[in-house]
């Protein structure tokens, strides 16, 4: 749908499995609100899917924040767009009756998801970060205790150096997140290995099917 009072163009697919937390799908550079829907359906069948389109354009390609060059982020843009995206998530939760989501982001979308964790703790129940980089040079101290993070990096990724993804894992662990980091024998693109690992992680993340309300931290 087009941008409205929530501020982002987005797609929403209601869930059919109440035991699964909703997924916040965050595309890479040049993607849009339709881009990760097939991946979301594959890794979390039955989950509600909330998929916004990044509001920043780079040579006509949607992104979630500006960058100064490859791998060099405009942190003012990153912080302001992360704040806008956090507001969107809160408003979309109220509109669609959603629990706190788990983010599933690829590349630029994984970077904004990591920024949401560090700038807006408690907004997300967890995050699967596919080919993410350290988003902020000096983030403020936050408490991510109780937040689970899956970080899938590519050992042959020409965009994200291995030390950078390792530094992101340490940064999130230092904030108290439970981080599972896997360096895959891949480049920057996604593969079936990513799908399999993300699905297994999300299946384990799924709360027990029993009475009571879900935690919406």
pLDDT for 206 equals 66
pLDDT for 211 equals 40
Residue 205: count other Cβ atoms within 10 Å of its Cβ. 16
Average pLDDT, the chain: 92
What average pLDDT does the segment 131-156 reach? 95
- pLDDT tens profile 177-191: 999 999 999 999 999
Residue 1 placed within a domain: no
> Which candidate in 32, 91, 188, 191 is catalytic?
188
Cα dist. 113→16, 36, 168, 204 in Å? 24, 14, 12, 20
> Which candidate in 27, 35, 153, 157 is catalytic?
157
Tell me which residue has tokens 């990096």: 153
What is the rounded CA–CA span in Å between residue 71 and residue 73?
Answer: 6
SS3 (DSSP) at 38: helix
User: Residue 47: pLDDT above 70?
Assistant: yes
What average pLDDT does the segment 71-100 reach? 96
Residue 165 placed within a domain: yes
pLDDT for 215 equals 37
Residue 195 placed within a domain: yes
Tell me which residue has tokens 């669609």: 96
Cα dist. 27→34, 156, 163 in Å? 9, 21, 23
Residue 181 placed within a domain: yes
SS3 (DSSP) at 89: helix
Active-site residue 157, yes or no?
A: yes
What average pLDDT does the segment 84-113 reach? 97
pLDDT for 213 equals 35
Q: Is pLDDT larger for residue 140 or for residue 62?
A: 62
Q: Please, which residues have CB within 8 angstroms of residue 29's CB and are 6 or more apart in sequence? A: 58, 61, 62, 63, 107, 108
Residue 69 placed within a domain: yes
pLDDT for 28 equals 97
By CB atoms closer than 10 A (0-12, 13-18, 19+), residue 206 is middle
Active-site residue 51, yes or no?
A: no
Domain count, the chain: 1
Residue 217 placed within a domain: no
Cβ-count burial 50-59 (b if 16+ within 10 Å, e if not):
bbbbbbbeee
> Which candidate in 107, 148, 153, 165 is catalytic?
107
User: Residue 212: pLDDT above 50?
Assistant: no
pLDDT for 97 equals 97
Q: Write out the residue range of the structural domain in which residue 50 sits.
A: 10-205
User: Percent of the chain beyond pLDDT 70?
Assistant: 93
What average pLDDT does the segment 148-171 reach? 96
pLDDT for 70 equals 81
What average pLDDT does the segment 38-52 reach? 98
Active-site residue 120, yes or no?
A: no
Q: Please, which residues have CB within 8 angstroms of residue 56's CB and are 6 or more apart in sequence? A: 62, 63, 64, 65, 66, 77, 81
pTM beyond 0.75? yes
What is the rounded CA–CA span in Å between residue 202 and residue 217?
Answer: 17
Specify the CATH number for the domain of residue 128.
3.40.50.1820
Band (113; pLDDT cuts 50, 70, 90)? very high
Look at strands 67-69 and 61-63 and give their pairing.
unpaired
Q: Is pLDDT larger for residue 215 or for residue 93?
A: 93
Contact 44, 202 (CB under 8 A): yes
Band (91; pLDDT cuts 50, 70, 90)? very high
Residue 2 placed within a domain: no
What is the rounded CA–CA span in Å between residue 68 and residue 75?
Answer: 9
155: left (phi over 0), alpha (psi -120 to 50) or beta: alpha
């Amino acid at each position: 749908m087009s941008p409205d009072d929530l501020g982002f163009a987005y797609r929403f697919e209601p869930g059919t499995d109440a035991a699964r937390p909703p997924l916040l799908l965050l595309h890479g550079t040049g993607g849009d609100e339709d881009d990760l829907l097939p991946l979301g359906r594959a890794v979390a069948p039955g989950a509600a899917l909330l998929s916004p389109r990044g509001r920043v354009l780079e040579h006509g390609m949607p992104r979630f924040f500006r960058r100064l060059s490859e791998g060099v982020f405009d942190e003012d843009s990153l912080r302001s767009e992360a704040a806008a995206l956090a507001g969107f998530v809160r408003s979309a939760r109220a509109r669609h009756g959603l629990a706190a989501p788990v983010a599933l982001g690829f590349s630029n979308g994984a970077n904004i998801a990591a920024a949401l964790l560090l700038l807006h703790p408690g907004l997300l129940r967890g995050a699967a970060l596919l080919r993410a980089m350290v988003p902020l040079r000096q983030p403020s101290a936050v408490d991510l205790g109780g937040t689970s993070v899956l970080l899938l990096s590519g050992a042959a990724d020409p965009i994200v150096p291995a030390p950078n993804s390792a530094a992101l894992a340490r940064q999130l662990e230092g904030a108290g997140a439970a981080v599972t980091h896997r360096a895959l024998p891949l480049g920057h693109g996604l593969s079936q290995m990513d799908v399999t690992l993300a699905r297994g992680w999300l299946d384990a993340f799924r709360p027990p099917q029993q009475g009571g309300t879900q935690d919406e931290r």
